A and B are shown apart, each in its own frame.
Chain A
Amino acid sequence: MSSDLVGKPVTEAQPSGGARLSLRELAIRYGFLLLLAGLIVFFSLATRGFASPQAAVFILQSVSITGILALGVTATMVVGGFDLSIGSIATSAMMAAAYVMVVMEQNALVAVLVCLAIGALVGLINGLIICYMRVPDLLATLGMMFLLIGLQRIPTEGRSIAAGMTMPDGSTAAGTFSANFLALGRHRFDFFIPDLVPASVVVLIVLAVLIWFFLEYTRFGRMMYAVGSNARAAEFAGAPVKAYKIWAYVISGIFSSIGGILLAARLGRGDIASGNNLLLDAVAAALIGFAVLGAAKPNAFGTAIGALFVGVLLQGLTMMNVPYYTQDFVKGAVLVIALVFTFSLLGRNAR
């Protein structure tokens, strides 16, 4: 069944749903998934220990925080926007969690709620600035990123936060990270094998399924795609365009703060220097997602696959003793290839 046999598309008469795919269309649709499968097979054969449940879980864990941020930024890309502040929201949430528990001596629940509130608030402000002050999305969120990077250092005068730290006034912080909070980063659920799946991986999977269902199957998700594809047409169809855009940034903010919570729980401290790569990794995963299933547009499933792809590749290369400092190069190369694939082969202008 080559593409020649299909010939010219029949304009009428053809029963709906019976569209057969040419080789090129097959390649576009399944090429990236096939490549991912190929990589997994290759690494399984080439290294010892890659094809094990532990390695699989390790890969998932390594991409969980990046993946959650990427799912959030996907929501903003769906409405035709972009959120550069995701990384700094995550690190701000991490610092806030540490501050609430260590300095203010509150429990895990308070810390989580404070983080989520910060994420939602920053997302809301982003959305308001973009929709009502007409600041272009990239610039607004770039400014917000800068602001947050600075803001998170002010309460502790630039110090990292850990239990027993010395406060600026010379006293010693009395609080500690609560055990419940740390469990978010360290607890492992049984899954056939005892203590296999870390909590962060469960959070990633739950959020991925949630946002995927929301974007693909609810009318709100559909409207968000309409806003991103042709905002004026969406407005003329009765959609409150600004509200949808603002919600997208709120979603992005909340997802980023969840990422920050998991980061704090994993580290067990509020580390001023961590989280530098979150933004770039997350954006890369979301953009790689354009190429998955030939979507040529932001989509949750693609984003998840994009994050996984990067995780598999890095883990495999590491196990083959490729030095760590090549990692960013590899990620960048994958991103460029995926983008070329998306925009040249699909010939459709995403965004």
Chain B
Amino acid sequence: MAEGAIFRIAGLGKSFGPNDVLRGVAMELRAGEVTVLMGANGAGKSTLVKIMSGIHQADRGVMMLADAPFLPATPAEAMRAGVVTVHQNINDGVVGALDVATNLVLDRLNDTGRGIFFNPRRVRREAADVAARMGLRLDLSADVTELPLADRQMVAIARAMAHEPKVMILDEPTSSLSANEAARLFDLIDRLRARGVAILYISHRMSDIRRLADRIFSLRDGQIVGRFEEKPLDYEGAVNAMLGRNLGRSGIASRAASRPIFSAEGLLISPAGRPFSLTLGAGEVVAVTGLVGVGKTRLAETLYGIHAPLGGTMQLDGSVYRPKAPAEAIARGVFLVAKDRAQTGIVPDFNIYENMSLPFLPRFSHFGVARRRAERAKAREQIKDLKIVCRSERDDLATLSGGNQQKVTVARWLSQPSRLLILDEPFQGVDIAARHDIAAKLRESAADRATLLFLTELDEALETADRILVMSEHTIVGEHRSAEVDMERLLADVAGRGIGDAA
């Protein structure tokens, strides 16, 4: 099976402390082929990339490049041996203060034996060479920061190609590109393929994978759990393998919505999406699922007034709802437990009760003076309700574990009655016990409001929601009731096979 593979990994293992991140990964890359690696968050993709690119060292296992052992101690060593990586963050691949030409030949400027003086004409000539070989039509004297993201990405890839690599790793290269920009990137990748480069392509986007993949490997819990090498490729099988089929159903009795609280007609949230409709009823818990980068957070933030919708109308409790800022959403009773609590959730300098009362300070104030006693009483109530482990409501947030910090951010928005409670990845970085506490509290308190959860992990959605909506390419493409869910159809929707109109 591994015949003709230029790069081979066997039994690769890596642990961080007690965490086994990689547990015996075996994989081959072939020259002139695009190998797609799929995996959910935390499956070990980025660790694998870091080992291949010399940032981390493996604890166990071997890597072979062209039948010679490959053990890079630094990224520079990996690069010299012929394995280059274009990292996810585009701006890591280019230097913003320099023009395109200098960026293209930047690594050569660091070569030993190069003269001290910088010869702009020679740089320009070498850069024109590189650009021509890659078929890049860019103004070489332009500043990199003036280029659109896609062009910057191309420059980063072309720069990587200047090393004449045998293996190129592309880590989610399209995650911030539009469909048109991605198409240009794919053309470039075709060109690399034709030049005989072995490409490891990491992505969540099914459209990318359909367009590029020669083979697909699915990574789950630090192991390759699925290999798909025969055409036509089994895309759904790959998604299945990556998400795992042991979806423990913990018997949720689906509740039917009594009356609608929130509805949206012809909602368009991104130029890359299509209009869709959405109705949420009192008492039901609805989960929106879909792969990373399909617009889940965009939808959550649109409903919360951070982004304006590009089209369509929204209604809340029978009247028009068009929030221009979070304050307006909060006033109407639409709350958001935002994704990534460190960025958008907690105030690190505040203690528990100050964090909980933050959005509701006007309600806790008399003539502008905050009533701490009321704040603290409310916080104590919530601490008990959600079983937050702490000494008192005056503990600093920094002293709490991640799961308890997340409980505080959820408790903040449960502390006041809401009409529509939106939670974007509320179980991120939360252990199972905390997850159960939060989910139980959400379901228990859901009676008078609509609850909308955004979850990438299917298990979590099946575990907590009455109804599951599937998002793909900034559009809701499928709807499933948790009680009688058809896994085949659900996974097909997640993989991007949904039929245009739903929900």
B345 at the interface (CB under 8 A from A): yes
Q: Knowing A229-B347, A233-B347 touch, does A218 contact B391 (C-beta < 8 A)?
A: no
Of all chain A residues, which has the CB nearest B345? A233
- Kindly list 14 other residue pairs between chains A and B, CB separation below 8 angstroms, not including A219-B370, A237-B358: A14-B392, A16-B392, A17-B392, A19-B394, A218-B365, A219-B361, A219-B364, A219-B369, A226-B350, A229-B347, A233-B345, A236-B326, A237-B359, A239-B327
B338 at the interface (CB under 8 A from A): yes
Q: Knowing A14-B391, A226-B358, A236-B336 touch, does A219 contact B365 (C-beta < 8 A)?
A: yes
- Which one of A10, A219, A235 contacts B362 once the chains associate, using CB atoms below 8 Å? A219
Question: 15 A-B pairs, CB-CB below 8 angstroms?
Answer: A11-B391, A12-B389, A16-B380, A219-B362, A222-B354, A223-B361, A226-B350, A229-B348, A230-B343, A232-B343, A233-B343, A233-B347, A236-B344, A236-B345, A240-B325
Of all chain A residues, which has the CB nearest B349? A229
Check A238 against B325 for contact (C-beta < 8 Å): yes
A220 at the interface (CB under 8 A from B): yes
Of all chain B residues, which has the CB nearest A296? B349
B-contacting residues, A207-238, CB 8 Å:
217-220, 222-223, 225-226, 228-230, 232-238
Check B391 against A236 for contact (C-beta < 8 Å): no
Check A19 against B348 for contact (C-beta < 8 Å): no
Q: Tell me, in angstroms, the Cα distance from A235 to B304 when the chains sit together.
A: 11
Of all chain B residues, which has the CB nearest A239? B327
Would you give the 0/1 interface string for B349-373, flagging 1 where the beta carbon is closer than 8 Å to chain A?
1100010001101101100111000
B393 at the interface (CB under 8 A from A): yes
Check A218 against B370 for contact (C-beta < 8 Å): yes
Q: Tell me, in angstroms, the Cα distance from A225 to B336 when the chains sit together.
A: 21
Check B393 against A236 for contact (C-beta < 8 Å): no
B346 at the interface (CB under 8 A from A): yes
Interface size on B, residues (CB 8 A): 35
- What is B's interface to A at a CB cutoff of 8 Å? 304, 306, 325-327, 329-330, 336, 338, 343-350, 354, 358-359, 361-362, 364-365, 368-370, 380, 389-394, 398
Q: Tell me, in angstroms, the Cα distance from A217 to B368 when the chains sit together.
A: 8
Q: Tell me, in angstroms, the Cα distance from A230 to B364 when the chains sit together.
A: 21
Q: Tell me, in angstroms, the Cα distance from A254 to B431 when the chains sit together.
A: 50
Q: Tell me, in angstroms, the Cα distance from A67 to B329 when the chains sit together.
A: 41
B359 to chain A, nearest CB (A): 4
Residues of B near A11 (CB, < 8 A) are: 389-391
Check A217 against B369 for contact (C-beta < 8 Å): yes
- What is A's interface to B at a CB cutoff of 8 Å? 9-12, 14-17, 19, 217-220, 222-223, 225-226, 228-230, 232-240, 297, 348
Residues of A near B368 (CB, < 8 A) are: 218-220
- Which one of A9, A12, A217, A232 contacts B344 once the chains associate, using CB atoms below 8 Å? A232
Residues of B near A12 (CB, < 8 A) are: 389
Of all chain B residues, which has the CB nearest A214? B368
Of all chain A residues, which has the CB nearest B391? A14
A-B contact count (CB 8 A): 89
Residues of A near B346 (CB, < 8 A) are: 230, 233
Of all chain A residues, which has the CB nearest B409? A233
Q: Tell me, in angstroms, the Cα distance from A218 to B350 when the chains sit together.
A: 15
Of all chain B residues, which has the CB nearest A14? B391
Residues of A near B390 (CB, < 8 A) are: 11
Of all chain A residues, which has the CB nearest B304? A236
B306 to chain A, nearest CB (A): 8
- Which one of A17, A225, A235 contacts B394 once the chains associate, using CB atoms below 8 Å? A17
Q: Tell me, in angstroms, the Cα distance from A240 to B305 when the chains sit together.
A: 13
B420 to chain A, nearest CB (A): 15
B466 to chain A, nearest CB (A): 26
Of all chain A residues, which has the CB nearest B336? A236
Q: Tell me, in angstroms, the Cα distance from A290 to B343 when the chains sit together.
A: 24
Chain A to chain B: the 8 pairs with minimum beta-carbon distance, closest first: A16-B392, A238-B327, A219-B361, A237-B359, A229-B349, A238-B326, A237-B358, A238-B330
Q: Tell me, in angstroms, the Cα distance from A229 to B345 when the chains sit together.
A: 11
Check A237 against B392 for contact (C-beta < 8 Å): no
Residues of B near A236 (CB, < 8 A) are: 304, 306, 326, 336, 338, 344-345
B373 to chain A, nearest CB (A): 12
Of all chain A residues, which has the CB nearest B372? A217
Of all chain B residues, which has the CB nearest A9? B391
Interface centre among A14, A228, A233, A239, by most chain B C-beta atoms within 10 angstroms, is A233
A302 to chain B, nearest CB (A): 14
A210 to chain B, nearest CB (A): 13
Residues of A near B393 (CB, < 8 A) are: 16
Residues of A near B358 (CB, < 8 A) are: 222-223, 226, 233-234, 237
Residues of B near A219 (CB, < 8 A) are: 361-362, 364-365, 368-370
Residues of B near A230 (CB, < 8 A) are: 343, 346-348
Q: Tell me, in angstroms, the Cα distance from A16 to B347 when the chains sit together.
A: 21
Residues of A near B392 (CB, < 8 A) are: 14-17, 19
